[in-house]
Amino acid sequence: MSAETRTFGDRLRGIHAATIVPMTPDFEIDEPALAAHLASVASVPGINGLLINGHASENFVLSLAEKRRVVELARAHAPKDCLIVSGVNHESSLEAAREAAALEQAGADGLLVFPPNSWALAHADDCVIEHHRRIRDATTGPLMLYAAPVGAGAMAYAPSLLERLVADPRFVAVKEGSWEVATYEQNLRLIRKLRPDFVVLGSGDEHLMTSYLVGSAGSQVSLACVVPELVVSLWTAAEVGNWEHARAAHEKLYSLAVAIYRNAPGGRATVRLKACLKLLGRLSCDAARPPQPPATAEELRSLEEALRLAGYGKLLIQ
């Protein structure tokens, strides 16, 4: 079945890589490096699509013009049948709606609506509904929800709010990033009860195997922009119920997931993803925009050891 005859939900199944945005030393987007990164990751067998302008892409510090350019480059350099989903992330609902319309026009196949970072402190449920409604009304294509980590305060949607969001037929899928197994299963069961057709992607990089065991249509994860073959291997094994092979892939991935996402201090995933790509010789400059400082010597040692445990030792630049 061709990409033209499959639904957006069908095309979401499997592994989609959440990509980074390479920067020059003076923090401008390095377009040639970005084009190479997008093309390289999207060409790996088993990578069915890309999530661009996500958290790993530093979407909260990119301008709308830059986000639009990321979409254009992805459209130009990824394979024709590669599904391109762009994140939408803005504190203002009005600006988020403008952003969504622009990114859709630039060529995104679908949009993932991130909760504004200010919602981590507090929000009224009606604010969340209004934000999503304005993005919905400014666009025509398929939309996705984002279930934020339970550690992100009020940004994580309570079941009663999630139920209201899922009821909107324009939203067809969720990147389930609760990052906690019990909440993941709670949300999965609620969504399946409300809308069996709704696509749930298990996207907590540290517990992908558990998500696949409980139930998942696939993942949009940034681990897949560093070790795409290994993430695909895990999914492929889980999809056919080969849990011995899935566990072996999980064992290789686990230390790397911890080194990138869990190790203190928090909020360093993008810096560490870029550091990994530089260690592997796939990125010449691993700069991230301020206020993020470069990877420390301790972080680099941890990432290098984790990459070795994942089986990428021979590829590391010495």
Question: What span, in angstroms and rounded, lies between the C-alpha atoms of 162 and 83?
Answer: 25
Q: Is residue 308 part of a domain?
A: no
Where residue 84 sits, what CATH number does that domain have? 3.20.20.70
Q: Which domain holds residue 112?
A: 8-240
Say which of 67, 157, 175, 212 is annotated catalytic.
Answer: 175
Q: Is residue 267 part of a domain?
A: no
* 299 falls within a domain: no
Segment 46-65 mean pLDDT: 97
Does residue 92 surpass a pLDDT of 70? yes
How confident is the prediction for the chain on average, in pLDDT? 96
The mean pLDDT value for 191-199 works out to: 97
Domain presence at residue 252: no
Asked whether residue 314 carries a pLDDT value surpassing 90, the answer given is: no
Catalytic-residue membership of 80: no
Q: How many domains does the chain have?
A: 1
Distance between CA atoms of residues 204 and 208, nearest Å: 6
> Does a structural domain hold residue 111?
yes
Residue 175 known to be catalytic: yes
The DSSP code for 301 is: H
Residue 282 lies in a domain: no
Give yes or no for residue 142 having a pLDDT over 60.
yes
Q: Each residue of 230-243: pLDDT tens digit?
A: 999 999 999 999 99
Residue 96 domain flag: yes
Q: Which DSSP helix (H) or strand (E) runs through 234? A: helix 228-239
For 6-32, what is the mean pLDDT? Answer: 97
Residue 119 falls inside a structural domain: yes
Convert the pLDDT of each residue in 272-312 to its tens digit.
Answer: 999 999 999 999 999 999 999 999 999 999 999 999 999 99
Name the catalytic one among 67, 146, 278, 312.
Answer: 146
Strands across the sheet with 14-18, in order?
Answer: 199-202, 171-176, 143-147, 110-113, 83-88, 47-52, 14-18, 218-221
